[in-house]
Structure 1
Amino acid sequence: MVTAEENKMLTQVGPGTPGGELLRRYWYPIAAAAELDENPVKSIRLLGEDLVLYRDRSGTLGLIDSLCAHRRAHLVLGVPEESGLRCPYHGWRFNENGQCLEQPAEKDRGHPYCEKVKLKAYPVRVACGAVFAYLGPLPAPELPMWDLMTEENVLHEIAYATLPCNWFQSMENAVDQDHLDWLHVAFSDYVLERQGRPDLRKRFWRPGEHKGDGDRARLKEMLYERNNLGILRRAVYGDRTKDDVDWRIGIQVVFPNFARAVNDLQIRVPVDDAHFTYFLIRAHWLKPGDVAKQDKVPYFHIPVPIEDPNRMGEIKWKDLDAHATQDMAAWIAQGAISDRTKELLCESDKGVRLLREMFLEQVQVVASGKDPLNVFRDPGEAKSISVPHVEDEDNWGYQQTQLRSRARTANKWSPVLTELIRKYFDEQEASEILKDPVH
């Protein structure tokens, strides 16, 4: 059983908390780079800190304290200059290092003291269409480039949603194989009933198989094992064997905060104790022989099916026919911060136990002054890191399943997937797929 003190370690993300100090050793995606084309200044809350992300007119990115050092005006109203961001209230200007560059009124009166004023600032990097931030001690580790981020001849996209619950509730879902049969099959069928579409048959989550075929698709054996990246999930379904990819390759959960799921890196970004951003970096494979052309990585928002865990009666059933939103509903339904001291864990919860043990263990690693798991200091090691997944043996085969099954992950709202459906299917079949998101 988790104690109240352990639960705090698992859920508190702010500065000075044990879990927060661990989490500050990692880079986090905080925005789609394309967002800054539409609005060059964005308010950011990350690990309990309020910040402003901006891009100045020379293209330099900065992530600085949200409030001006002068009269505490919010810098989300700031004006990007050729160099830095200018406060709208009295014109103080700050660069990407937080250094004050200009104090107009003080300069006019002969009393500038810019060199003495510096806002909190953090490093940012752009990779695969996402802006990443690091809030930990310097020197910053290398930004790890996971395989889906470096995949060639794919179309990338970004998707995200900010949810009203703690990040660890979502992360535990990544080591819970048994929820697939219930949340994404049985509950999904109930959603269709609520939507007035009970005649639609729910496809199973592997190509060519359907739930409802008796014992053939049931989970028969499960194993969670630690490896150099985090936790590997292995499974045997129905009449399959351990020679099948579900066991032989499995699904990799990467400590501390993401999993490779089909063509997504599903990253949990802690906002504060009671909120997190579910951030997807997606790679859509093309038909062999096709060449990807992409000027910029597009992004879209995933709808949040429950806005407030204190008002569970206000559920957006129309959005619950997709795996991403079904997961979100289950995480939010546990409350803003789950009270794990009252839960009843079972034999099927081995993965959850293992994840908690690893997190508490790595808290102690950081407390001892060492780098935790998956902090990379070697640029060569960080430039392309493999996260094995069952799709690797037939990327195009799985991509075709993605095209036809829009309920998987967040496909229902994907502009790139819509484009590919129209590209690879004739007009009639494309129309049928697009009008039926659980096809």
Structure 2
Amino acid sequence: MTAEENERLTRVGPGTPGGEVLRRYWQPAALAEELDAHPVVPVTLLGERLVLFRDDAGDLGLVQRSCPHRGVDLSYGRCEDGGLRCPFHGWLFDRLGRCLERPAEADGAGLGDRRVARAYPCLVRAGIVWAYLGPGDPPRFPHLDCFEAPGTHGFAFKGLWECNWLQALEVGIDPAHASYLHRFETDAAEARYGEQFRAAGAAETTMPMTRLLREYARPRIQVEQTPYGLRLKAIRDAGEHGVHVRVTNQIFPNAIAIPMSPTMGITQWHVPVDDTRCYWYSIFTSYAEPVDQDRMRAQRIAECTLPDYAPRRNAATRYGFDAEEQRLETYTGMGQDINVHDQWAVESPGPIADRTRELLGRTDIGIVTFRRLFKDAMRAIEGNEDVPSPPPGDGSDAAAIDCLLPAGADVEGWRERAAARRAAAWTDVPA
């Protein structure tokens, strides 16, 4: 890859090729719960400094953070009288960016229907506030299981990573790394961590994923294009246990869907704050029992600092690295939280990875294929053409699952398992 190509892929501000692709899709802007304590929250998204607020009618607004009058920070504003009021001179702006009042002026009147503040549409789905920063009307909101599940069966959270969004995304479309980066030398878990890579590899076996990944560390990886983006299959021939198939998805442009356990999945967006920082937004979706949201929130809050959701383990603390743990317990020596492992992997190459120095292998096929799709989308926008839009349907094309099939079975047997899991989900939840 050339340096110019890397720049095009990674820069996200207004007018940049990559930023213009990301702006054509709904993007997470904040957790809905961030508005619980105070109805005004500063947001930086795709390099734009914005402010999110809930007006006194309960409607959400997302507008530029600098007041159009004199440029002060509207995240210190007052929610009142149908909008957000600037503390400097009392100018009042609504969620459409119109100035409703200028109380210090002679007549106190606003500026009519002129939209003097940059404003973007937003909505709430699955515990996240979503925003559309692109031109024209927003695209169809994607049909994914994380949005179809009842509120009792999902949990959303986020975390800040000090790196460009692309290297954060690429760790999620690299199935081979799980056998190394997330390798555990024992199969007993600390109770405070989730089930991923600790649960049984599939409902048909008691073999933990830790052992399966450890003992069968050279998967065959297949990648295919889908209506949502890419499907990645990591296939491990597990001897007498059968064939393990792990299906993950890249949901274009900046999300992934991965299995967490036989009954839970994670859908995760990697959202640029700016060129050198990003948030991961994860929605945990249960296909069986309701999610213990308080427990999951407490687990994640313990690992970060508010209000930025910055991880306590970071480069300054060397990610909690312990050489003795690395020798005896984990491949990384960075604890049992796999999120920390991923954080190290994406932050340590630097804020923007130098891809001109990469030596890619066959296991990087998902990364290579995604980059091609993203380059195609950039060229489409530059040629005034459409980019791929989320397809209609029930989201089954984006299913993520672990399953163990009989030796010699068709690896596409995962489809039947995924369909059965989804058919049985949420049937006893009141409408």
Which residue of 2 is the match for residue 122 of structure 1? 120
Task: Tell me which of 256, 261, 267 is aligned to 1:259.
Answer: 256
Question: Residue 388 in 1 paired to residue 403 in 2?
Answer: no
Question: Residue 334 in 1 paired to residue 345 in 2?
Answer: no
* Partners of 1:305 and 1:315 within 8 A in 2: no
Unaligned runs of 5+ in 2: 191-196, 260-264, 305-309, 323-333, 403-417, 426-431
Which residue of 2 is the match for residue 206 of structure 1? 201
Q: CA RMSD in A?
A: 3.4
Question: Residue 344 in 1 paired to residue 344 in 2?
Answer: no
Shift of 1:82: 3.8
Unaligned runs of 5+ in 1: 196-201, 400-439
Q: Deviations over 1:165-188 (max 9, x none)?
A: 000001111221111011100xx5
Q: Assess, with a 3 A threshold, how the Cα gap between structure 1 residues 387 and 123 changes in structure 2: closer, same or farther.
A: same
CA distance in 2, matches of 1:330, 1:205: 25
- Taking structure 1 as the reference length, the TM-score comes to 0.76
Equivalent residue runs for 1:161-176 within 5 Å? 161-176=159-174
Equivalent residue runs for 1:21-420 within 5 Å? 21-106=20-105, 109-110=106-107, 112=109, 114-115=111-112, 118-152=116-150, 154-185=152-183, 188=184, 203=198, 206-207=201-202, 208-210=206-208, 211=210, 217-239=216-238, 244=243, 246=245, 250-262=247-259, 263-287=265-289, 301=301, 303=304, 304-305=310-311, 314-317=318-321, 320-375=335-390, 381=392, 386-390=397-401, 392=418, 395=421
Q: Assess, with a 3 A threshold, how the Cα gap between structure 1 residues 277 and 292 changes in structure 2: closer, same or farther.
A: closer
* Partners of 1:306 and 1:329 within 8 A in 2: no
CA distance in 1, matches of 2:51, 2:153: 29
Shift of 1:67: 1.1
Which residue of 1 is the match for residue 16 of structure 2? 17
CA distance in 2, matches of 1:307, 1:216: 29
Shift of 1:218: 3.2
Letter paired with 1:206 = G
* Partners of 2:100 and 2:109 within 8 A in 1: no
Q: Deviations over 1:223-270 (max 9, x none)?
A: 1222222121112213269985616xx222211111111211111111
**Identical amino acids, percent of aligned pairs:** 32
* Partners of 2:14 and 2:20 within 8 A in 1: yes
Per the alignment, in what secondary structure is the counterpart of residue 97 of structure 2? coil
Shift of 1:101: 0.2
CA distance in 2, matches of 1:121, 1:7: 30
Instruction: Give aligned pairs, total.
Output: 372
Q: Assess, with a 3 A threshold, how the Cα gap between structure 1 residues 70 and 317 changes in structure 2: closer, same or farther.
A: same
Q: Which runs of 4+ in 1 moved over 4 A?
A: 202-205, 210-216, 240-245, 291-295, 297-302, 304-309, 382-386, 393-396
* Partners of 2:258 and 2:401 within 8 A in 1: no
Moved more, 216-225 or 29-38: 216-225
Letter paired with 1:341 = T
Letter paired with 1:390 = I
Q: Assess, with a 3 A threshold, how the Cα gap between structure 1 residues 352 and 92 changes in structure 2: closer, same or farther.
A: same
